[in-house]
A = this chain, B = another copy of it.
Amino acid sequence: MLTLSDIKAAYDRVKSYVHATPVVQSDLLNGWLGHDIYFKAECFQTVGAFKARGACNAVQQLLAQHADVKKVVANSSGNHAQAVAWSARTFGLDATIFMPAFASQVKAQATRSYGADVILAETRQVVDAMVFKAAQKSGTYWVPPFNDLSVMAGQGTAALEAWSQLNDEPDAVFAPCGGGGLLSGTLAAVRGLSGSCQVMGAEPLVANDAAISLRQGSIYTLTDSPKTLADGAMTLSVGDLTFPYLQQLDDFFEVSERDIAYWTQWLQHLLKLHIEPTSAMTMGAVFQWLSAQKKRRKVLVIISGGNIEEAQMRRLWAQNHLATQPQLFK
């Protein structure tokens, strides 16, 4: 299992390349809820998401372990694509990113702007097959999106960094769950940093493969790509490397599409940040947890990123949620 020292080693590798992102608060929200919520704003991270941390660590580990690294390849429809393209450029490597054709033009364009070749294929299955084939070539290495220890350790550096920015230890840390990379790294970091701080995850109710996996004790795989606003949590299943970490979480929450839209509107409005629905979903989990708390709590939320397609913005703002102020009933 990853330990705090692995996360610290990853941080030593990545900290001069990635941004130290700010921790922000909303006094209004804290006042309304009666708790202290700290948001680690990874929307300001390089490439607009925490994914830069994992990719940056993984590419450096590859360079340290293999003498012949010339090129990295990745399969992703989202933030991991940009993260690997950026990391490759940073370390002078070639990169080819395989993306499903349904990925947004903006994300493909951003990935190309970091100098990577982008190859589109019709389905996620074809994309996966292509990346495995590409990685067979000598000198070419695959950077997996989550199921990889160096990627998981890199993602854990967000929580580690937040610890140095907070005055006191939080009572709980929340992060979203896609493939489980961010939560695995976060859990490894926080378990080493604190004897009492809880670590919890959030997933869309309509894409609840991780919640089902946790209930049944084995990895459950969705058959169809789920339709959720939280596009960073659309993965069909968690990984065999990440699942054991998810099993150690203190709790895990499923969040409705209504609540994802609700918290995206409110967090954009209150924090003045352009944050992804996948990040706002996590606040839905925080709200569920706080509803059962008897005393004032201090919570750290990892705001995973800020890359949002225009069609998603339209869906997010289709209804008015700002008319209903967040409130806890006690």
Q: What residues make up the interface of A, taking CB atoms closer than 8 Å to B?
A: 28, 31, 43-44, 48, 105-106, 109-110, 113, 265, 268-269, 271-275, 306-311, 313-314, 317-318, 320-323, 325
Copies in the complex: 2
Q: Are A43 and B272 closer than 8 Å at their CB atoms?
A: yes
Among B109, B311, B317, the residue within 8 A (CB) of A320 is B311
| Inter-subunit contact A322/B113 (CB<8 Å) | no
Instruction: Return chain B residues, CB-CB under 8 Å to A265.
Output: 310, 313
Q: Of B106, B311, B317, B325, which one neighbours A313 at CB under 8 angstroms? A: B317
Q: Which residues of B contact A325 (CB under 8 A)?
A: 109
Name A314's contact: one of B31, B44, B317, B323 (CB within 8 Å): B317
Interchain CB contact (< 8 A) of A308 among B269, B307, B318, B323: B269
A45 to B279, CA, bound (A): 23
Whether A113 and B272, one on each chain, are in contact in the complex, defined by CB atoms closer than 8 angstroms, is no
Q: A105-B323, A317-B310, A322-B106 are in contact. Are A271 and B274 (CB under 8 A)?
A: yes
| In the bound complex, CA of A31 to CA of B115 (Å) | 13
B314–A310 touching, CB < 8 Å:
no
- What residues of B have a CB within 8 angstroms of the CB of A307 in the complex? 269
Q: 4 additional contacts, CB 8 Å, given A268-B274, A273-B274, A314-B317?
A: A44-B272, A106-B322, A273-B273, A274-B274
Choose among A106, A273, A309 the residue with the greatest number of B CB atoms under 10 Å from its CB.
A273
Q: Is the CB of A113 within 8 A of B308?
A: no
Q: Which residues of B contact A44 (CB under 8 A)?
A: 272
Q: Which of A113, A313, A314 counts the most chain B CB atoms within 10 A?
A: A313
